[in-house]
Amino acid sequence: MTEVNDALIGHLSELARLQFDEAQRQEIKKDLEGMIGFVDKLMELDTEGVEPLVYLTPNLNMFREDKVLAPLEIHEVLKNAPIHDGTFFKVPKVIKKNNS
């Protein structure tokens, strides 16, 4: 079993760009130990002759038939929008113009 220590938690948190206090580190350490233990337990299983599972069901690419429907009314489209002007969705500006 891989040892879950403070160095491993520190390395993983650095890779993920996350910061934890000591209580969170202990909780994460406990969770990682549980996950690694679970995978180690799975490694004990004899899988000789078992084909890898690619799909969970025998159904492949179950698509519905395309149907042409009437377009939605503008009030229906905008009714759940947090901000709109009656015709368009209003969103924060994300593109800045460079006035050079």
Q: Tell me, what's the pLDDT at 18?
A: 93
Q: Domain total for the chain?
A: 1
- Is residue 78 within 8 Å of 85, Cβ to Cβ? no
Residue 87 is assigned to a structural domain of this protein: no
State pTM to two decimals: 0.48
Average pLDDT over residues 58-87: 90
**CA pseudo-torsion sign 16, 21, 27, 32:** positive
Residue 15 is assigned to a structural domain of this protein: yes
Residue 29 is assigned to a structural domain of this protein: yes
Average pLDDT over residues 54-58: 81
pLDDT at 55 over 90: no
Task: Tell me the average pLDDT of the chain.
Answer: 89
Residue 80 is assigned to a structural domain of this protein: no
Residue 92 is assigned to a structural domain of this protein: no
Residue 56 is assigned to a structural domain of this protein: no
Residue 85 is assigned to a structural domain of this protein: no
